[in-house]
Structures are given as structure tokens and as C-alpha cells.
């Protein structure tokens, strides 16, 4: 290390560099979206817990997705809101690194859970007679636990590689949270190994699951087209269309952010794309599943009726 290099103890999150009046407007909008994210995903988890008709593998994995979305948003959004209304935008370096770790862990978990959900739909439509055997509760539990454990282990690899680096400045992160690519810019050493591992992880955790999802849905589409009745085809499409919408939003924004060539304004681009991860996707997921899913809407009506009857 050079003579002028010192360890960073805290950094400043620059956030969105906009007019102060616009900052207050964004604070209001983002606060509302964050509240809707927690409310929507919380309702999904509550309905699945309360309604025994939703105690199926598909909704078991959907509850995990809702928990991930709430955790993901809660990791990133509160600090973003604080930077919009506070003059003190500093964050200690250790909490900053922990935010990076949790950001990666929840992102990995969402990729794997979405992949598992597509496999569940594949088995349900292509092998309906063997569904209860293939997707037993033991298998579902193992798949969910494996997804969580593997996600945190992979995030831990990134954390170890980050902590090996000396950080000496600048003391500013041009982002609204401690996103990994922005954090690496603070290092005063070669970060090529980190960049290679990030790209390899993207290939493994983004392109790998996405390819499996696409293969699953190619098989599903083939099976649906063989269904004779129009009602049967409609029901099969309705059970899969919601999941495909979520997959498209999440994987699309992730691939553009971490694997597409950088634009001339990469930092501003990263902020906008990170909003999809942190706020828009977690908020849209429960809306997509509830508005397009008759079983979820039916469960909500039953819970309301039971509450009125008490």
C-alpha cells in the first residue's frame, strides 16, 4: 500500500443527486412504495399461513419469495429514504459491508427460489399424476433450505474477497446503498479477481437458473398445447403466467445491470436498475400473484369473511 493509503471507517452515500424539493417528493413516493411492499408481501405470507387451501408446494415457495422480497427491500430502502431527507448521509464501513452481503444473499436466494418455483410448475403440469410424490413436503423443504444456505454461502465468498482488499478512498459511494460494484471502487488495490468472481457468479446464479426456467416453460408450453379442453389450457396458463412475469422482471433487470455492456453513465444506470431490485420488483410481485391468481383472491375473501364473522 502507498504511503497515503488509510483504512476507511465510514463512507458517504451520495444517493440521488437531485433538487432538494424533488428529494422530498421522491421520499414520499418511495416511502409509499416501501409500505406497499411490506403490506403486499405480508398479506401473501399471512394468507398462506392462515388458509389451509394454500398449503401446497407452489404457495410454500411463494411465501419464501415474499419473505425474500420484504428482507431485500428492508435491507436497501430505509437507508435510501434517510439519504433523501437527512444531511448526514454517512454510514460506518462495517454496516456498509454487511448491507452488501445481505443484498447479495437475498438476490441469490430470489434467483434460486424462482428457479425452484418453475420446476414446481413443470412437475404440476407435465407430471400431474406424480406431482404429490415428486414434490413431497420433504423435497420442498430440502429445496427451500438448500436455496437459502447456498445463497448465503455464495454471498460469503464475495464478502471474503471484499474484506481482503485495502480500502483507502475516496470516501464517497455514488449510490443510495452499498452496492457491490460501487463498494469495489473504494479499494486501493487490484479488484480484477472480484470482478471475475462477480461475473462467474452471474453466469452461475443468473444465466444458469434462467436457462432452467426457460427449459421448464418450454416443456410446460408443449404440455399445455396438448391439452384438449380450452378451459384446461386457460387454467394451466393462468398458473404459470404470474411466475413468468416475475421471472422476466427480476432476471431482466439483473442481467442488464451486471452482464450488459456499461453505458456512458454507468453509475446513474446502476441506481435506476437497483430500484427495480430494491423496490419495484418486491412491490410488484404480490400484486402480480394476487391480481392474476384466483386462489389467492379467494383466500383473501375467505379471511375477510372469517374476520367479519368473529
What pLDDT does residue 293 have?
A: 66
In the predicted model, residues of the chain with pLDDT beneath 70 are: 1-7, 169, 227-233, 235-240, 242, 261-267, 290-301, 303-310
Average pLDDT score, the chain: 83
Reduce the DSSP state of residue 97 to 3 states and report it: helix
Q: Count the Cβ atoms, other than its own, within 10 Å of residue 38.
A: 16
CATH of domain 10-309: 1.20.1070.10
Look at the alpha carbons of 152, 157, 160, 161 in this order and tell me if their dihedral is positive or negative. negative
What pLDDT does residue 21 have?
A: 79
Which tens digits make up the pLDDT trace of 94-138?
899 999 999 999 999 999 998 999 899 889 888 888 999 999 999
Q: What are phi and psi of 218, to 5 degrees?
A: -65, -40
What pLDDT does residue 2 have?
A: 43
Which tens digits make up the pLDDT trace of 205-252?
988 888 998 898 888 888 877 766 666 667 666 666 767 777 887 888
d(CA 276, CA 257): 10
Model-level pTM?
0.87
d(CA 235, CA 299): 17
What pLDDT does residue 4 have?
A: 44
Instruction: Identify the residue whose cell numbers are 403490506.
Output: 39
What pLDDT does residue 168 have?
A: 79
What pLDDT does residue 288 have?
A: 75
What pLDDT does residue 266 have?
A: 64
Amino acid at each position: 500500500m502507498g504511503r497515503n493509503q488509510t483504512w476507511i471507517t465510514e463512507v458517504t452515500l451520495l444517493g440521488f443527486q437531485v433538487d432538494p424539493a424533488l428529494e422530498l417528493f421522491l421520499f414520499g413516493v418511495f416511502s409509499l412504495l416501501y409500505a406497499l411492499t411490506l403490506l403486499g408481501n405480508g398479506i401473501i405470507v399471512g394468507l398462506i399461513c392462515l388458509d389451509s387451501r394454500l398449503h401446497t408446494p407452489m404457495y410454500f415457495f411463494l411465501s419464501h419469495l415474499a419473505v425474500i422480497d420484504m428482507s431485500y427491500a428492508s435491507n436497501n430502502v430505509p437507508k435510501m429514504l434517510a439519504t433523501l431527507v437527512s444531511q448526514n448521509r454517512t454510514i460506518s464501513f462495517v454496516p456498509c459491508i454487511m448491507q452488501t452481503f445481505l443484498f447479495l444473499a437475498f438476490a441469490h436466494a430470489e434467483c434460486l427460489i424462482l428457479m425452484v418455483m418453475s420446476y414446481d410448475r413443470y412437475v404440476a403440469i407435465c407430471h400431474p399424476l406424480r406431482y404429490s410424490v415428486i414434490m413431497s413436503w420433504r423435497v420442498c423443504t430440502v429445496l427451500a433450505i438448500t436455496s437459502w444456505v447456498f445463497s448465503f454461502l455464495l454471498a460469503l465468498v464475495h464478502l471474503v474477497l471484499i474484506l481482503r482488499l485495502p480500502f483507502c478512498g475516496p470516501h464517497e459511494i455514488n449510490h443510495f446503498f452499498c452496492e457491490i460494484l460501487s463498494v469495489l471502487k473504494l479499494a486501493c488495490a487490484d479488484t480484477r479477481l472480484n470482478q471475475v468472481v462477480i461475473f462467474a457468479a452471474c453466469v452461475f446464479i443468473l444465466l444458469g437458473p434462467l436457462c432452467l426456467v426457460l427449459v421448464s416453460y418450454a416443456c410446460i408450453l408443449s404440455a399445455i398445447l396438448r391439452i384438449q379442453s380450452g378451459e384446461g389450457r386457460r387454467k394451466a396458463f393462468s398458473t404459470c403466467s404470474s411466475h413468468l412475469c416475475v421471472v422476466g422482471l427480476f432476471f431482466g433487470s439483473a442481467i442488464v445491470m451486471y452482464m450488459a455492456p456499461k453505458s456512458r453513465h454507468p453509475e446513474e444506470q446502476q441506481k435506476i436498475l437497483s430500484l427495480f431490485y430494491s423496490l419495484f420488483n418486491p412491490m410488484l410481485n404480490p400484486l402480480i400473484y394476487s391480481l392474476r391468481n384466483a386462489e389467492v383472491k379467494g383466500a383473501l375473501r375467505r379471511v375477510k369473511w372469517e374476520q367479519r364473522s368473529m
